[in-house]
Amino acid sequence: MKLRALFRTKSVDRITRESETVVEHTLKRTLTSFDLTMLGIGAIIGTGIFAAIGTATAGNADRPGAGPAIILSFALTAVACIFSALCYAEFAAMIPISGSAYTYAYATLGEMVAWIIGWDLIIEYAVGNIAVAISWAAHFNDVLEHAFGLRLPGWLTMDYETATRTPGVIDSAPHLLGFPIVMNLAAVAIVALVTWVLVIGVKESAVFNNVMVGIKIVILLLFVWVGFKYVQPDHFRPFIPNGWAGVQAGAALIFFSYIGFDAVSTAAEETRNPKRDIPIGIIGSLLICTVIYVAVAAVLIGIMPWTELGVADPLPKALAFIHLDRAAGIVSFGAVVAFTAVLLVFQLGQPRIFFSMSRDGLLPKIFAAVHPRYRTPHVTTIWTGVFVAFFALFSPLDKIVELTNIGTLFAFVLVCMGVMILRHRDPHRPRPFKTPWIPLLPIWLVILWYLPREILHEDWGKRFEHTVVLLLSAAGVLFSIIGIYAWLKRRRVPEIVKTEFALAGIGSCVWLMAGLPALTWWRFAGWLAIGLTIYALYGSRHSRMADRVVQLPAHLNAVTPGAVVMAGVVWWAAPHPYSLIVPILILLGLSFYAFYATQRRNA
């Protein structure tokens, strides 16, 4: 196997043909544009608007709050997401196959990058669902208390780390051999229920999701309607209390509020008319959610001082602040519904990515198994449920959320890159939906004027990330000038020049990633190193793009367990930062040696 085989691409024609001809690995097409729009809303409206909006507004010791300008943060984040959404829509209409960004990367950036994206999407869908399940458990306990006067014991609804910070939980927990038993069984229960619903069938799941989406939209509109009469204009002054630093920090955090619209594209293979319905579902759900978010944020700021919103349940607290306790209980119920809908959509997306990777030979065939009766990928659905439930049992929320953010932004960056590459490589391919071309010259010029001064006062990490944004802006200026000149001269505008929105998507995602801590970057690098190791040892040798399956050399089979154990021991025992850096280097070394040894054996 030559190294260039790692970047072999699968043509769009082959991807489409394989999905249509391999009968035992095909899914039932039942979803409409309405189902997809509701699917997107179900994924987007969730943890962000019901929880993260409070801390993004109020801030904390580590970052400034946006204050009333959280409305502006929502708008800026929406613009950034729209750029990526348009790229997703172009790909999904052109390649209406299950797999989302993984499938798109396979067609443009090569097999190894596609594998990395598929592995990275586990962070967005499965790891992100761990955070949602944990939040669901906490809000469900609040609903029990407000509605029925009951409350589950704390040791059944939180992880051990949180329990140690919560007075009385450890003391009230049962002990086994002197150790307290603390586990989030409520989170496990909801994951099990959602997994069962998805195994039964996606159309039934879509109906279930549509009902829940309708409920939570009504809940949020109820909050806006009830709270509007209590809005105090004085709460909006000053509008930007912490300057643009607060607006950027708020935008970086409430990005979580928009994660989910790309989940629509994972259901492309189960859509009746994907070339028309997928773009409608992605862009429609994003626009609807933005309008709702801005309205909720405006009312929230108006009825309660923004400095007091730094809590996990800001909407109920705001209603309680104006003595509307019954409405606060209803909103708490809406939060539970929202989290359930997000769980459903993300649990729907992750198995279908595994399904596509297995169909390409990068994972064992069992991952592409389809239930004979329900025609759903039941094996990967169940395994995803087991993974989410296991880690939701004892994981702390904050670490899970940070990892979800960087994984999602990285996937968005590569999708935008894929659109640019395919426009240049295959400009004449029919595209039912194309990312529109509008010269963004004024925006590029503003960035080039503003960012250089900010870079001088930043640490090396942010300086590097913002330098990337500056280079992208310079490329954007060049694209705009070439495009405008060709248009004025009535010449054909090159297709690559028409991808300014994709370029803007890359830049905006990098700008948001610049707000994440360095430790999150190292954890993300470790996750990718694990994925690359799996690809080197299995996926690259069993790919359907290869001529034959290449066997691993015997000595590599002997070395691999030792290297993996060594990486695990260092991660567990070594002090920071070596606990992350050394295992990453060990796994990367094992991966590249596996590529080299396999290549020599094949030669």
Per-residue pLDDT reduced to its tens digit, 412-467: 898 898 889 888 888 887 777 788 888 888 889 988 888 777 666 666 666 777 78
What is the reported pLDDT for 1?
47
Q: Where are the domains of the chain?
A: 29-415, 433-513, 518-602
Per-residue pLDDT reduced to its tens digit, 275-329: 677 778 878 888 888 889 999 999 999 998 888 887 667 888 888 888 887 888 8
Per-residue pLDDT reduced to its tens digit, 353-375: 777 788 788 888 887 777 777 77
DSSP state of 161: H
Per-residue pLDDT reduced to its tens digit, 47-80: 778 777 887 888 776 678 888 999 998 888 888 8
Taking residues 550-562, what's their average pLDDT? 80
What is the reported pLDDT for 267?
64
**216 pLDDT more than 60:** yes
596: Cβ contacts below 8 Å, ≥ 6 apart: none
What is the reported pLDDT for 484?
92
Give kind and range of the element (H or E) at residue 451: helix 441-455
**225 pLDDT more than 50:** yes
Looking up tokens 């070394």 gives: 589
Residue type for position 96: P
Is residue 261 within 8 Å of residue 240, measured between CB atoms?
A: no
Top-confidence residue, 351 or 286? 286
Top-confidence residue, 599 or 493? 493
Taking residues 501-529, what's their average pLDDT? 85
Taking residues 499-512, what's their average pLDDT? 90
What is the reported pLDDT for 376?
76
**113 pLDDT more than 70:** yes
Q: Is 182 helix (H, G, I), strand (E, B) or coil?
A: coil
Q: Which two tokens stand for residue 413?
A: 């960056």
No. of helices (H) and no. of strands (E), the chain: 25, 2
Average confidence score pLDDT of the chain: 80
Nearest CA to 352 among 129, 535, 22, 122? Answer: 122
446: Cβ contacts below 8 Å, ≥ 6 apart: none
Using a pLDDT cut of 70, give the percent of the chain over it: 86
Query: The domain 29-415 belongs to what CATH superfamily?
Result: Amino acid/polyamine transporter I (1.20.1740.10)
Per-residue pLDDT reduced to its tens digit, 9-25: 766 666 666 655 544 44
User: In angstroms, rounded to a whole number, what is the distance separating the alpha carbons of residues 272 and 540?
Assistant: 33
**519 pLDDT more than 50:** yes
Top-confidence residue, 601 or 220? 220
What is the reported pLDDT for 39?
76
Query: Considering only 128-132, 186-190, 330-334, 395-399, which range has the smallest mean pLDDT?
Result: 395-399
Long-range own/partner contacts, residues 125-128 (CB < 8 A, 24 or more apart):
125/263, 125/346, 125/347, 125/349, 125/350, 125/353, 125/384, 126/346, 126/350, 126/384, 126/387, 126/388, 127/391, 127/400, 127/403, 127/404, 127/407, 128/259, 128/346, 128/400, 128/404, 128/408
Top-confidence residue, 513 or 92? 513
What is the reported pLDDT for 98?
52
Confidence grade of residue 269 (pLDDT, cut at 50, 70, 90): low
Confidence grade of residue 254 (pLDDT, cut at 50, 70, 90): confident
Looking up tokens 């459903």 gives: 344
Taking residues 133-153, what's their average pLDDT? 79
Nearest CA to 66 among 225, 247, 236? Answer: 247
DSSP string spanning 534-566? HIIIIIHHH-TTSSSPPPPPHHHHHHHHHHHHH
User: In angstroms, rounded to a whole number, what is the distance separating the alpha carbons of residues 215 and 332?
Assistant: 12
**CA 388 → CA 37, 204, 343, 374, 375, distances in Å?**
25, 22, 10, 22, 23
Residue type for position 20: E
What are the helix (H) ranges across 109-241?
Answer: 111-122, 128-148, 160-165, 169-172, 185-200, 202-228
Residue 285 CA, distance from chain mean position? 15
Q: Is 98 helix (H, G, I), strand (E, B) or coil?
A: coil
